[in-house]
Amino acid sequence: MSQSFKFKKAERLKNHHLLAALFTSGKSFSAYPLRVVYIPIEEAGPFPAQFSLSVSKKKFRLAVDRNRLRRQIREAYRLHKHRLYEDLTSKDKRIALMILYVAKEEKSYKDIEQSMKRIIKGLKKAVV
């Protein structure tokens, strides 16, 4: 089976009930400059993880800066999610997760990618 590096629309977390549950009963940990909040979910779906992200408008006033950070985070997730998906599908588990950018200044893509790798490794340990 060839692995797909695409980030499909069905992988996005848009359900308001799940987003609310993330912040009321979700677990979290940090890998600076990112923080992840996650919960296991029961609903069946085409993907083992649903993903959302947030960059603070208070810390980054210009939309250009927020959008650049979002693109970089989404790209890092897209390139490394297959590691998480392999473990989740083998254990038949599903999760909803949200990535928050917590740094007060823009970090390089290399820092964001390293942080994303640590987050995926941490999620594999915590969920699987």
Q: Would you identify the CATH topology of the domain 11-127?
A: Ribosomal Protein S5; domain 2 (3.30.230)
Predicted TM-score (pTM) of the model is 0.91
| Amino acid at position 15, single letter | N
- Each domain of the chain, given as residue ranges in start order, spans 11-127
pLDDT in tens, 63-85: 999 999 999 999 999 999 999 99
Q: Scanning the structure block, which residue is given the tokens 């979700």?
A: 26
Query: What is the per-residue pLDDT across 94-110, written as a single tens digit (0 to 9) for each?
Result: 999 999 999 999 999 99
Distance CA(8)–CA(122), nearest Å, equals 23
Give per-residue burial for 90-114: e unless 16+ CB within 10 Å, then b: eeeebbbbbbbbbbeebbeeebbbb
